[in-house]
Chains A and B, each alone.
Chain A
């Protein structure tokens, strides 16, 4: 046991940090001020993604035979953490979750037309799981795909399709088996639906923090080559993708970046007696608690990445990291805005906004994390069953 970066890992961290200072340029920051491009998707963002792809930074931890650099999940994590700490709107669902799933399960056609282009930074992929009537009970989804010769005809509606308005594909879960005798999660298949196909449409859902979408699939004719994995075999792809997503959404990078900025702000801001704000006892203690909990999240995620490298992340521990991380984020954003006081609530466009209103925005986005990627109640059920071997309730 030695819990510290190796000199190589430390060097990689510094190299990525230096690279990202170049990527997160003034024009990218200016574009992020445009409400349409908070979460990426603008022309400068696209250009930066292409640059990162061209220079070999995407898919760092993917195996070499899948087109990555094969340097391992820990190094991939170091990369993602630095990218997010730099404030880049990194499409982690595409690069860190769907990409590796496609690389593992996609046909040669998918490898050629999709996987390679993800590594080049050319594609954004959205996730289509939830429906108006299927959230936590995802297996009850009703979007259907019917076989028609070499094609599938897809009909249905998805909600919370984040990035759906500029995504190139949707990783879509659809029902392909309607036999009432089989369990409902055994009749689901995954398709990679090109959003350019006729019958796809998208309307915005404006949430407290960001835009997401409802997406509609009306008689979309999708060639069978866009099916991923076995027919009716989608459930294990969904759980595989969600296992990766859970770790991605609790990546501490963004909070690491913001926390440093808040501490610097507290050190450089004077209170009305002329003392640095960071010398106020409750302020520094609140920051110290946040630092303690942030270090804990870093350690939990390092351990997950290390376990992945060694082949076997524990199911209860993945869920524990998701619950801990998401609840920490909510609390961390609360504490960080609290030290700024009421001025912390000024929005980014306002005169007098602090730290470009980043925390005013982040606190509105954070609440999604405790239920996104599998609600924390389900994660605690998983911990109770897989970590403590408690009997399950009938459901």
Chain B
């Protein structure tokens, strides 16, 4: 049992945090948002040049060979600054799970381009009307090469990425592969606007060509890795968001005076923030447990679902509480809290809200006790 991070992991987090916090100056963010830029290219470039974006990729790809826990700390730092960078879709959801398929030359070339910062890739996990990543409706079929038919949506950074990792059904088997995002015949990307402001797309594909990475059990394993790593990454980002929202509210209520005293001296206010602190610690410890499981190659553990239950609940509660103790200031777009609130809603719902994961836990608990081995 060890709850500590290594010196190297801490340094990575501090560096990421410093770079992203420095760049998250309100005036700069406001100008960026007004410019219509889909994401913070400059911040992403900083993560690339300082060796953060590929820290968890192996050394032979130019990375630092750090583990998954290190990558979760980068996600936490991104949450603390609410920066729009493609770290989770590109590195966590796509590059890290694909490391197991490096002997595939197409995958190897893509990984090399991601590691050098030359290309972005992303991953499509949900479909219109179907949010269960494990039961895709999209079909893959073979006709000399592999073709796809169906739709995916809410794909982050699809217009910026060179490839989309996606999963489909090939007969009775799961199929995993890469679709290019260029103007391929038979596939169409449609821009979607998400609450965070991050770029997302819907992909409609009717006979478009794709590259197959794995089928059957190997594809199942890859998908489990993608979902586990992405879920834990969202939870880690949520830890950063919750911590920062609570910090912002603590600072504001310590300064803001009413009736001649700081409003934080009212127990009703202080206790609401103390509850945010407790919530954040509960989310953090569940996230760390889930990350520890994933780091040990244990995908889809109860701990992962439990972390996502906490993620959904804590994002909602901390967002509402911190807005509330600010009064109108908290929702003013000239003040910085709103960016975190937007992320809070996204992180609450991405890859399943609290009730979705509770229902899964409930089914597993029922099955265990009915089998007589609780």
Rounded to whole angstroms, the CA-CA distance of A320 and B246 in the bound complex is 15
Known: A5-B1, A74-B1. A295 touches B303 (CB 8 A): yes
Q: Which residues of A contact B1 (CB under 8 A)?
A: 2-6, 9, 74, 302, 306
A316 at interface, CB cutoff 8 A: yes
Complex: chain A residue closest to B285, CB-CB: A299
Q: Which residues of B contact A276 (CB under 8 A)?
A: 366, 370
| Segment with Cβ contacts to B, from A33-41, A169-177, A193-201, A376-384 | A376-384
Rounded to whole angstroms, the CA-CA distance of A192 and B363 in the bound complex is 53
Contact between B281 and A317, CB atoms less than 8 A apart: yes
Interface flags for A326-353 (1: CB within 8 Å of B; 0: not) read 0000000000000000000000000000
Complex: chain B residue closest to A327, CB-CB: B278
Known: A288-B358, A302-B1, A390-B264. A1 touches B69 (CB 8 A): yes
B residues engaging A (CB < 8 A)?
Answer: 1-5, 69, 246-247, 250, 253-254, 261-262, 264-267, 270-271, 273-275, 277-278, 281-282, 285-286, 288-289, 291-293, 295-296, 302-303, 306, 309-310, 358-359, 361-363, 365-366, 369-370, 372, 374
| Segment with Cβ contacts to B, from A52-60, A95-103, A226-234, A263-271 | A263-271
Taking a contact as CB atoms closer than 8 A, the residue among B281, B293, B358, B369 that contacts A278 in the complex is B369
Contact between A324 and B365, CB atoms less than 8 A apart: no
Q: Which residues of A contact B296 (CB under 8 A)?
A: 2, 4
Q: Is the interface of A mostly helix, strand, loop or mixed?
A: helix
Q: Which residues of A contact B246 (CB under 8 A)?
A: 388
Rounded to whole angstroms, the CA-CA distance of A285 and B357 in the bound complex is 10
Known: A285-B358, A323-B278, A390-B254. A4 touches B292 (CB 8 A): yes
Q: Which residues of B contact A393 (CB under 8 A)?
A: 261, 265-267, 270
Complex: chain B residue closest to A5, CB-CB: B1
A279 at interface, CB cutoff 8 A: yes
A284 at interface, CB cutoff 8 A: yes
A residues engaging B (CB < 8 A)?
Answer: 1-6, 9, 74, 260, 263-264, 266-267, 276, 278-279, 281, 284-285, 287-289, 291-292, 295-296, 299-300, 302-303, 306-307, 310, 316-317, 320, 323-324, 377, 380-381, 383-384, 387-394
Rounded to whole angstroms, the CA-CA distance of A281 and B3 in the bound complex is 36
Contact between A1 and B4, CB atoms less than 8 A apart: yes
Rounded to whole angstroms, the CA-CA distance of A296 and B302 in the bound complex is 12
**Considering residues B69, B246, B369, which has the most beta carbons from chain A within 10 angstroms of its beta carbon?**
B369
Contact between A289 and B271, CB atoms less than 8 A apart: no
Contact between A288 and B361, CB atoms less than 8 A apart: yes
CB of B234 to closest CB in A, whole Å? 17
Rounded to whole angstroms, the CA-CA distance of A227 and B141 in the bound complex is 83
Contact between A390 and B273, CB atoms less than 8 A apart: yes
Rounded to whole angstroms, the CA-CA distance of A233 and B157 in the bound complex is 63
Q: A384-B271, A387-B274, A393-B266 are in contact. List 6 more A-B contacts (CB 8 A).
A: A278-B370, A292-B309, A295-B289, A296-B285, A299-B286, A381-B271
Contact between A284 and B362, CB atoms less than 8 A apart: yes
